[in-house]
Homo-oligomer: A and B are copies of this chain.
Amino acid sequence: MKKVGKQTFMLTNPVNITSTACIVGPKEKDGPLHKYFDQTLEDEFWGESTWEKAESKIIKETVATALAKSGIASADIDFCFAGDLLNQCISSSFGLRDANIPFFGVFGACSTFVESAILASMSIDGGFATNAICASSSHFCSAEKQFRFPLELGNQRPPTSQWTVTGAGSMILSKTGQGPFITSITPGKIVDMGIKDANNMGGAMAGAAEDTIIRHFEDTGRTPDYYDAIFTGDLGYIGKDILIDLVKSHGYNIKNNYNDCGVLIFDKDKQDTHSGGSGCGCIASVFSGYIFNQLQYKKLNKVLLVATGALMNATSSQQGESIPGIAHAISIEL
């Protein structure tokens, strides 16, 4: 490992992505990426009595699928890094309580998947782990109930709002393998743009994405065209446009090879999802399904994956607080 610039680390022994898996809900099944998901559900309950229990089952089965694909016995997994959006991250802790693997709970809101990947990469590169699991989940119904209003109210959603993805993504990271590899990590700082509208998460998080992306470019000396594709998750349509402008103000043009997982997962016109998808499960499932597939089939060779999180809760918004954002980035190369 070699530190470059202020906060980027080049992994001289790149970390192997041994397998990925993703399971998503019915709305995601109807979206444009449906063929890339390992499993899609017919309803939001999956046979459970509550949405929270369904979300736990989704992350549990997603991790089981990633493990099965990897061919690695769970006894050979050193650590599990996982988190979600539910209060006290209960989707992860209940879903993975029987895993029997040393467990690190992680909270970075929708940045959790990449935060977990960075922590797992450091543990592998640092010699502490040979194999590690990363996982995160979200659920539309449990998230709406917790962050906004009971679904039964049928509240109208403003155009800036994003639709929380029902789904989970998981990956098994290993010390060795055939790739794709995590080749660099850029952990992010908290950035608060002063936005107070809890229905404009994309706007609130764009500044954090800008900060981490610019940091990554300056630290590495790379420009956007180094990458075949840059993905954020999840700024949605509005945050994506803001980010393009913010990054441009530093002299970098990402317009040609940049997209957002929240934009990709739903069909905005047909699915009434306003500014796009969001939630810990969005970038987790879009990466584990679509992006990883593109890497495996060499349609993409170099990807910068930037996960963004809004570090607020329902109480902080009610108390008039602004929304701090964070963004964590990893590069993935063949």
Closest beta carbon of chain B to A298's beta carbon, Å: 30
Would B87 and A321 count as touching, CB distance under 8 A?
Answer: no
Is the C-beta of A79 less than 8 angstroms from some C-beta in chain B? Answer: yes
CA distance A3 to B123 in the complex (A): 12
Q: Would you call B128 and A1 a contact (CB within 8 A)?
A: yes
Partner of A312, one of B88, B98, B316, B319: B88
**Across the interface, do B109 and A88 meet the contact criterion of CB distance under 8 Å?**
yes
Does A71 lie at the interface of the complex (its beta carbon under 8 Å from any beta carbon of B)?
Answer: no
Q: Is the CB of A319 within 8 A of B89?
A: no
Query: How many identical chains are in the complex?
Result: 2
Give the shortest distance, in Å, between A197 (CB) and chain B (any CB): 17
A interface residue count range (under 10 / 10 to 19 / 20 to 34 / 35 or more): 35 or more
Q: Mark A172-212, 1 if CB is under 8 A from B, else 0.
A: 00000000000000011110100000000000000000000
- Among the stretches A100-108, A229-237, A238-246, the one at the interface with B is A100-108
Given contacts A100-B189, A125-B128, list 11 more A-B pairs with CB under 8 A.
A52-B316, A87-B146, A90-B312, A94-B311, A94-B316, A97-B324, A103-B188, A104-B106, A105-B109, A106-B107, A126-B127
- Name A residues whose Cβ lies closer than 8 Å to a Cβ of B: 1, 3, 7, 9, 49-50, 52-53, 78-79, 83, 85-90, 93-94, 96-109, 115, 118-119, 122-123, 125-128, 146, 187-190, 192, 309, 311-316, 319, 321, 324, 326
